Every structure is written in C-alpha cells, then in structure tokens.
Structure 1
Amino acid sequence: MSVSIIDTTLLAIAMTDIAGLIIWIGACLYLAYTKMDLMLSHLKNSVAVNNLAPLRHGGPWGKLLLVGGIAGFVTFPGFYLKRGQLNPDDLANFPAALKRKLVCLYWCVIGLLLVMVAFFIAIKLGWY
C-alpha cells in the first residue's frame, strides 16, 4: 500500500499544527512562570484580571488559563473597555514588548485552532 502525495501533505499539515499547539502551550507556560507577577502588577486595577488572578495558584493549567485570559484582554481590549472590565490606564502602561508577545501568541492559537476546525469539517463533509 502506498501513500499518496495528498495524504503525506495533509499528515504534514496536521503534525505541524499539533507541534505548533505544543510549542504554544510551552511558550504560554514560560510566560506564566517568568512574567506572571509583571503582568498582574500592570493590570491590578482591572476587574476582569482580578477575577482571574486566583488561577495563578491552580498549577500549570491555571497559569495557562490566566495567560490566555490576559492575552485575550490585551488582544481585544475594546470589548472589555466598553464593559468596564479593563482599566484603560493599566492597558496603556502595560509593557509594549510583553503586549506584542501576548498578541502574537493569541493570534497564533486562533490560526492553529482554525486549521484544526478546517480539518474536522473537511473530514465530516467527506472531502477527504
């Protein structure tokens, strides 16, 4: 039995996607263990972050959720600013380099999850 070029290509894309998600989790955990105090100190007046702050004591899973939440607040601040969940001064004083990293991480995980959803839809519709 031989494997076609399409099978090989789809397998490579799927493996790359899974590897990307594993790397993403590692990057988030690295930020959680090294920059958590910095992130929380810059967002101390924000209600949404204060509600998520107890997750920092929830082990790796809690830290991952907290970094993901903060990345969401930084990536899409308009939604939270309108509702009073995020303090505009905290957001303005947030370190630019860290903000860039969090935004990049957030958009990367959105892209990786979209690839997974596309694979799922393609398989369910019988395209492959």
Structure 2
Amino acid sequence: MSLNVVDQVILSIAIVDLAGLILWGGLCLRLGYTTTDLMLEHLKNCSAIMTRVLLRHGGPWGKLLLVGGISGIVTFPKFYLKRGELSSEDLTSFRAPLKRKLVVLQWSVISLLLVIISFGITVKSGFVSGAEH
C-alpha cells in the first residue's frame, strides 16, 4: 500500500503533532517536579490554585493538572481576577521568565489540540483516501 501526497502530508502533520504533545507533557512534568513549590509560593493568595494544591501529591497526572491549571491562570488572568480567585499582587510577583514559559506552554497545547482535532475532522470527512471503507 502506498500513500498519495495528501495522505503523506496529513500523516506527517499528525506524527509531528503527536510528538509535540508528548514533548509538551514532558516539559510540563519537568516544570511540575522542579518548580511546583515556587509557583505555589507566588500564587499563595489564589483560591483557584489553592483548591488544587493537593494535586502536587497526585503523581504525574496530578503534576500535569496542577501545571495546566497554573498555566491557564497565568495565561488568562482577567477571568480569574474578575471572579476574585486571583490576587493581582500574586500575578505581579510571579517571576517573568516562569510566567513566559507557562504562557508558551498553554498556547502551544491549545495549538496542538486544535491541529489534532482538525486532523480528526479531516479523517472523519473522508478527505484522506485511507479513511474510506
């Protein structure tokens, strides 16, 4: 069985996207295991994070959920500031390099998930010849 050019391009995109998601997970775990205490110290008045603080003892999945929650709060702070779940002092005291890493991680996972969803829609629509039954 040989793939046509369109199938090869879509397969390449899917493989790169899957590799990106695995890399993203590894980077989140690294941050979770190395900087959790620092991130929690900077967000000690943030009720949205303090409700999730027990996740740091939840193994790898807990670390992923905690880092994901923190990155969401740092990336979209207006939502949490309006609801009173984030202190503006906590946000301004958060270290800029770490905040930048978390924002990049958040937007990269959003992008990677959008690509994989688009890939799924493409396959489901029958655009890829291998998807026909």
CA distance in 1, matches of 2:2, 2:25: 35
TM-score (norm 2): 0.93
CA distance in 2, matches of 1:85, 1:3: 51
State percent identity of aligned pairs. 60
Shift of 1:10: 1.0
Shift of 1:124: 2.1
Moved over 3 A (4+): none
Note the residue ranges of structure 2 that are not aligned, 5 or more in a row: 129-133
**Aligned equivalent of 2:65:** 65
TM-score (norm 1): 0.97
Shift of 1:121: 1.3
Note the residue ranges of structure 1 that are not aligned, 5 or more in a row: none
CA distance in 1, matches of 2:77, 2:107: 14
CA distance in 2, matches of 1:121, 1:16: 17
CA distance in 2, matches of 1:70, 1:118: 26
CA distance in 2, matches of 1:111, 1:69: 17
CA distance in 2, matches of 1:53, 1:3: 48
The alignment of Structure 1 onto Structure 2 pairs a total of residues equal to: 128
**Aligned equivalent of 2:131:** none
Shift of 1:2: 2.3
